[in-house]
Amino acid sequence: MNYALVGAFVLVLGAVLIAGVLWLASGGAIQKKYDLYLAIMDESVAGLNVNAPVKYNGVDVGKVRQIQLDPGNPERVNLLFAIERGTPIKENTVAVLKIQGLTGIAYVELSGGTPDAPLLRAAAGSEYPVIRTKASLSARLENVLTTVLAKLESTSNNINAILSDENREAFTRALAAIATVAQTIAERKDALDAGIANAARTFENASRATARIEPLIDRIGRSADAVEKMGNEVASTSASAGRTVDSVGADVKRFTAETLPELERLLGELSVLAGSLRRLSEQLGRDPRGILFGRKVVPEGPGETATEPRKP
């Protein structure tokens, strides 16, 4: 009976010990709580394993819970992170895949997250908040090396095309032509020097002529201004003369209308007076005494009476 009790006690104690160890291993009374976040990588995650650390500026804040391909796009990889609750994951926080030391063990590094940025929340219709990602250093180096290699290959092809047999032959002919031209120039060096000297003198003479022409141009400009002013004055004088002619014409019309009748009457009277003077002159020529003694009475003729005066 005592052996049975001892055996039961040992079994119970062993179970308690095992439960205590498991409890302590899981964190015990200070067990941490985690929130799940999703990150989508557009590059290879070779070297990254489940339970790989997730660090925030170098501090461990969680682990990689799950790694799987995106069902809709196999070029992308979905990473599920378990991050300690209370970690300030902001909307501008960025996840980058990094390699630890020379071991090649990959982990996820979180960075960014300014103090004034809001905390990251799950979007409508999404199960987990999605952390933005950025290409890793190895991916950026690979892209740069790929671009450089492509450019080197293109440059090599261009160099090979330039150094083809046809281009080398053309280049040889061009060098020969350049040598011929250089030799011709060397042979005519004196003539070229003389031509350059003549050109320099021509430019100098042209410069002096230009300096002399400038005052002449100024004088011509002033003369043109004077001619323009004179033309304006002549135009003004012509306008004044026109107004004067119009005024004189009006005066002439008025003079003709008012004076011409009087002048006609005066001419008529002068004609009568001239006739009288002519008759007087004729009478004086026939009988000058008539001025002093008057006209001589003509005796009455036969049958005339004294009552009927004789008509002159």
Percentage above 70 pLDDT, the chain: 73
Query: Reduced to 3 states, what is the DSSP secondary structure of residue 173?
Result: helix
What is the mean pLDDT of the segment spanning 204-219?
A: 74
Beta bridge partners of 79: 39, 67
Q: How far is CA 117 from CA 57, 94, 95, 133, in A?
A: 17, 13, 16, 17
Give CA–CA dist 281/284, Å, rounded.
5
- Indicate the pTM of the whole model: 0.43
- Which is it for strands 53-56 and 130-134: parallel, antiparallel or unpaired? unpaired
- Joined together, the tokens standing for residue 191 give 């003539």
Answer whether residue 241 shows pLDDT above 60: no
Per-residue pLDDT reduced to its tens digit, 131-159: 999 888 878 888 888 889 888 888 888 88
Residue 95, burial from CB neighbour count under 10 angstroms (0-12, 13-18, 19+)? buried
pLDDT surpassing 90 at residue 36 = yes
Helix (H) / strand (E) containing 225: helix 189-286
pLDDT band at 244 (very low <50, low <70, confident <90, very high): low
| C-alpha to C-alpha distance for 180 and 159, rounded to whole angstroms | 28
> What pLDDT score was predicted for residue 312?
43
Tell me the average pLDDT across 122-139.
88
